[in-house]
């Protein structure tokens, strides 16, 4: 694949991220939470393995939130009216975000709570 095509693909990806952050309050909330996690991990001097776990779980939350948003937008386009099947699809995709967020809170607790208690 030519470099120019790769560049345009990357440009579209960054555009999508920007659209997500500008249009979705949950995106801005995740950005603030990510900054807080990075700051706390730096302040508590997390190990490389802890940084890796935090990066993976943070990416998982971002991924699920962005996919949930895309699914919701698609369903709103395909079926603007309230429909039980659309509700099911939206609820399940929102549930995926909840699972990711609870998992992130658990991992964050495992990493941060002992360090904070030791201060």
Q: Which of 24, 50, 65, 72 is catalytic?
A: 65
pLDDT at 10 over 70: yes
DSSP class per residue in 21-70: HHH-HHHHHHHHHHHHHHHHHHHTT--HHHHHHHHHHHHHHHHHHHHHHH
Cβ proximity of 86 and 75 under 8 Å: yes
- pLDDT band per the 50, 70, 90 thresholds, residue 4: confident
Q: What is the pLDDT of residue 1?
A: 64
Q: What is the pLDDT of residue 7?
A: 73
pLDDT at 20 over 90: yes
Cβ proximity of 51 and 41 under 8 Å: yes
Question: What CATH number does domain 3-117 carry, 2.60.120.1440, 1.10.287.3610, 1.20.1050.10, 3.40.50.1370?
Answer: 1.10.287.3610
Burial zone of 85 (CB within 10 Å; 0-12 exposed, 13-18 middle, 19+ buried): exposed
CA distance 105 to 112: 10
pLDDT at 33 over 90: yes
Q: What is the pLDDT of residue 48?
A: 98
pLDDT at 61 over 70: yes
Is residue 65 annotated as part of the catalytic site, yes or no?
A: yes
């Amino acid at each position: 694949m030519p470099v120019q095509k790769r560049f345009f693909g990357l440009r579209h990806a960054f555009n999508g991220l920007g659209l997500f952050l500008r249009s979705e309050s949950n995106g801005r909330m995740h950005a603030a939470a990510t900054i807080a996690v990075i700051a706390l991990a730096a302040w508590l001097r997390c190990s490389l393995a802890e940084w890796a776990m935090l990066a993976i779980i943070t990416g998982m939350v971002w991924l699920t939130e962005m996919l949930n948003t895309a699914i919701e937008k698609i369903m709103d386009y395909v079926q603007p009216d309230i429909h039980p099947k659309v509700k099911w699809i939206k609820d399940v995709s929102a549930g995926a975000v909840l699972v990711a967020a609870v998992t992130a809170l658990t991992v964050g607790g495992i990493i941060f709570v002992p360090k904070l208690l030791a201060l």
